[in-house]
C-alpha cells in the first residue's frame, strides 16, 4: 500500500480576509488538518505567516499524502497570528472550509467562501487552493546576491527581498518562492535558496520564470525595485566561480527616462540540482527501524491493585499503558525485520535487592531485554507488575541515554541502515528535567526519535516543553537541539477516539525526523531508488 501513495502540493491564496488587528491589517497563516476520526483533527502542515495582508498568496506549499482509496476529509483554517506560540488556540480565527482532498485534486482551481462556523460567512473572505502532484524529488539550490539596488526608503536604504514566479499552463504567474528580507542594504546576499524542482518549474527547464526584487515595508505596501525573466536553463550557467548576472528593470522608470539603465544587478552565484529522498526511499532502501519501550513505574501512578491506578489492568485486560504500547507498536513493528523489541521499566524498586532502578528489563533479563513482538512486551509487562514496587523518582535520562548508545554505535557505520524510536509512557511527573534536556540535545545528533505518551490527568507542561514545538529545545548550558526529535501526546485526548488515531498522531513526525537526520548527514538510502525517467 505504501508504494501507491502520491504526494500532492497545495498552493493557497486568500482574498478579502477579515481584519482583526487594530491599526493594521491581519497577519494571516493557513493550516491544513485531516480528519483523524472521533471528531478529532490532526494537523498536516501550515504555511508561513504573512504580515499586514488581507489578500495573501502563501509561498510555502502544503504537502499532503494522497490515498485514492480513502476519503480524506480536510479542514483549512486561516488565523491571524499575533504571538510566537505554535498553538493556534490563542490566535484570531479568520475563517475556514471543510472539503475532501478528492474535491481539490479533481478541480483545477478550487475556490470557496471562508466560514467562521457552519453557515456563517467570514465577511467576503475566500480561499483558493490548487493541487499539483509531486513526481519529481529533485531540489533546486540557488545562491543569489545583488549589487547597486535602487534606494527606496526616504530615511534609509532599501530592505530588499526576492520573489520567484513560474508561469502556469493558463499563462498566470504563480508564486514559488519568497526570500527573507535583508534590512537596509543595497548590495544584499541572501541565504541559500532551496526549492523543490517540481514547485519551481514543474521540472521544465525552459518554463518562463519571473524574478521580482522589492523593498519590504512593514505595512505590506512593498515597493517594486525591479524585475527580470529567465528560465532554469539560463540559471544553470551559474557555478564553478562564474556567476550569471541579470539587470533588474523597473518597467515604469524605463518608460519615463531615456537615460535609465537598470535598478541594480542580480547575480546568481551558484545553481545546483540535488536529489531529495523520502521516508519510503529510506525504508524501501533497507533502513531498519528499531523500537524500544520505556514504562514509568513510579509511585505517582498509584498501586496497581487499586482500580484508580494507571497501572490497574481492567477486567477486559487493558489499561492506558497497554493501549499505548499496542497502538504505537503495531504500526512500528512492520518496519523491523526481527520483531525483537527491548522493553524497560524505570522508577521502581526491583527484586532481589529492592534498589530503585531507572532502566530495568521488563523480562528481568538485563543481558537480553528483547521481547518477541508487541505481544511479547505486553506479556512481560503483565508478568512484572506484581513483582515490583512502584517508587520514584521519575528519571527519563537513563533510558534516553541507553537507546542513544545504540544509535551512536549505528551512526558510526555512516550509512542509513538503522533508525531508533524510543516510546516512553509516563504519568508525567518528571524529576530529572535538566539531565533529560541534555540527553535529548545529545540524541538530536543521532539517528533516533523519542515519543512520549502521557497517561492520566497530570499537568504535562514539562512534556510539552520537551516537545520543542514552541521553539528549539536547549540544554541547561544553552546548546540547542540539532533537530526536533521529541513528539509528546497526552493520552486523554484519545480516550474515545479509534485506536489508530493515537498512532497516527504519535507517529506523524517520525518520517520527517528520520529524513531530516539522514539529510543533515548527507547519507542516501542504502539502496537508492532508481530514478524514473519522466
Please tell me the least confidently modeled range out of 221-225, 254-258, 374-378, 458-462.
458-462
The tens digit of pLDDT for each residue in 85-94 reads 788 888 999 9
Q: Please give the Cα distance from 437 to 426 (Å, whole number).
A: 16
pLDDT band at 533 (very low <50, low <70, confident <90, very high): very low
The tens digit of pLDDT for each residue in 172-203 reads 899 999 999 999 999 999 999 999 998 999 88
Give the per-residue SS3 of 361-385: ECCCCCCCCEEEHHHHHHHHHHHHH
Would the pLDDT of 239 be above 90?
no
- CA torsion angle for 133, 139, 141, 142 (degrees, to 10)? -30
The tens digit of pLDDT for each residue in 62-99 reads 999 887 657 789 999 999 998 887 888 889 999 999 99
The mean pLDDT of 138-164, rounded to a whole number, is: 91
User: CA geometry: angle at 61 spanning 59 and 66, to 5°?
Assistant: 165
Residue-by-residue DSSP string for 37-86 = ETTEEEEEEE----SS-SS-B--SPEEEEE-TTS--EEEEEEEE--SS-S
User: What's the pLDDT at 164?
Assistant: 98
C-alpha cell read off for 7: 504526494
Would the pLDDT of 305 be above 50?
yes
Contact 276, 139 (CB under 8 A): yes
User: What's the pLDDT at 521?
Assistant: 94
The more confident residue out of 138 and 409 is 409
Domains and CATH numbers, the chain: 7-134 (2.60.40.150), 138-275 (2.60.40.150), 280-521 (3.40.50.410)
Q: Please give the Cα distance from 523 to 277 (Å, whole number).
A: 10
- Among 15, 4, 6, which Cα is nearest to 129's? 15
- Among 389, 327, 321, 333, which Cα is nearest to 360's? 389
C-alpha cell read off for 363: 523480562
The more confident residue out of 152 and 419 is 419
| Residue that is written with C-alpha cell 514559488 in the block | 176
Q: Please give the Cα distance from 496 to 132 (Å, whole number).
A: 36
User: What's the pLDDT at 44?
Assistant: 93
Contact 58, 47 (CB under 8 A): yes
C-alpha cell read off for 332: 512500528
User: What's the pLDDT at 5?
Assistant: 55
Would the pLDDT of 211 be above 80?
yes
Which helix (H) or strand (E) segment holds residue 240: the answer is none
pLDDT band at 529 (very low <50, low <70, confident <90, very high): confident
Amino acid at each position: 500500500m505504501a508504494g501507491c501513495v502520491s504526494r500532492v502540493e497545495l498552493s493557497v491564496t486568500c482574498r478579502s480576509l477579515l481584519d482583526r488587528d487594530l491599526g493594521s491589517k491581519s497577519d494571516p497563516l493557513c493550516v491544513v488538518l485531516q480528519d483523524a476520526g472521533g471528531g478529532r483533527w490532526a494537523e498536516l502542515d501550515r504555511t508561513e505567516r504573512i504580515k499586514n495582508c488581507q489578500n495573501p498568496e502563501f509561498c510555502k506549499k502544503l504537502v499532503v499524502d494522497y490515498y485514492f482509496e480513502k476519503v480524506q476529509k480536510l479542514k483549512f483554517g486561516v488565523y491571524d497570528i499575533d504571538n510566537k506560540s505554535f498553538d493556534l488556540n490563542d490566535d484570531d480565527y479568520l475563517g475556514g472550509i471543510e472539503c475532501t482532498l478528492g474535491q481539490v485534486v479533481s478541480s483545477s482551481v478550487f475556490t470557496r467562501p471562508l466560514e467562521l462556523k457552519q453557515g456563517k460567512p467570514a465577511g467576503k473572505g475566500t480561499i483558493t487552493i490548487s493541487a499539483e502532484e509531486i513526481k519529481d524529488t529533485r531540489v533546486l539550490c540557488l545562491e543569489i546576491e545583488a549589487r547597486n539596488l535602487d534606494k527606496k526608503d526616504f530615511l534609509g536604504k532599501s530592505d530588499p527581498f526576492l520573489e520567484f514566479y513560474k508561469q502556469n499552463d493558463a499563462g498566470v504567474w504563480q508564486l514559488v518562492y519568497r526570500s527573507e528580507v535583508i534590512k537596509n542594504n543595497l548590495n544584499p546576499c541572501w541565504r541559500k535558496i532551496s526549492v523543490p524542482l517540481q514547485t519551481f518549474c514543474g521540472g521544465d527547464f525552459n518554463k518562463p520564470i519571473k524574478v521580482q526584487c522589492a523593498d519590504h515595508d512593514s505595512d505590506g505596501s512593498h515597493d517594486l525595485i525591479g524585475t527580470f525573466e529567465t528560465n532554469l536553463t539560463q540559471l544553470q550557467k551559474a557555478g564553478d566561480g562564474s556567476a550569471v548576472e541579470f539587470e533588474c528593470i523597473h518597467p515604469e522608470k524605463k518608460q519615463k527616462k531615456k537615460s535609465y539603465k537598470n535598478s541594480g544587478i542580480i547575480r546568481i552565484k551558484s545553481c545546483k540540482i540535488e536529489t531529495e529522498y523520502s521516508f519510503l526511499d529510506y525504508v524501501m532502501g533497507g533502513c531498519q527501524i528499531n523500537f524500544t519501550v520505556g514504562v514509568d513505574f513510579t509511585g505517582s501512578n498509584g498501586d496497581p491493585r487499586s482500580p484508580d491506578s494507571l497501572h490497574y489492568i481492567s477486567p477486559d485486560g487493558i489499561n492506558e499503558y497497554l493501549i499505548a504500547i499496542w497502538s504505537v507498536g503495531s504500526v512500528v513493528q512492520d518496519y523491523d525485520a526481527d520483531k525483537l523489541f527491548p522493553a524497560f521499566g524505570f522508577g521502581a524498586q526491583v527484586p532481589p535487592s529492592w534498589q530503585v532502578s531507572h532502566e530495568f528489563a521488563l523480562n528481568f533479563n538485563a543481558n537480553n531485554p528483547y521481547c518477541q513482538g508487541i505481544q511479547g512486551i505486553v506479556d512481560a509487562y503483565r508478568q512484572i507488575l506484581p513483582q515490583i514496587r512502584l517508587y520514584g523518582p521519575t528519571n527519563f535520562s537513563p533510558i534516553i541515554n541507553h537507546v542513544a548508545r545504540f544509535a551512536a554505535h549505528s551512526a558510526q557505520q555512516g550509512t542509513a541502515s538503522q533508525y531508533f524510536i524510543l516510546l516512553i509512557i509516563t504519568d508525567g511527573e518528571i524529576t530529572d528535567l535538566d539531565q533529560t534536556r541534555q540527553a535529548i540535545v545529545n540524541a538530536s545528533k543521532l539517528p533516533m526519535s523519542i515519543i512520549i505518551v502521557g497517561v492520566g490527568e497530570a499537568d504535562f507542561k514539562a512534556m510539552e516543553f520537551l516537545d520543542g514545538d514552541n521553539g528549539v529545545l536547549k540544554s541547561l548550558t544553552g546548546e540547542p537541539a540539532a533537530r526536533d526529535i521529541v513528539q509528546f501526546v497526552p493520552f486523554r485526548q484519545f480516550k474515545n477516539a479509534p485506536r489508530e488515531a493515537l498512532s497516527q498522531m504519535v507517529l506523524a513526525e517520525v518520517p520527517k525526523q528520520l529524513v531530516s537526520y539522514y539529510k543533515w548527514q548527507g547519507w542516501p538510502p542504502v539502496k537508492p531508488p532508481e530514478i524514473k525517467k519522466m
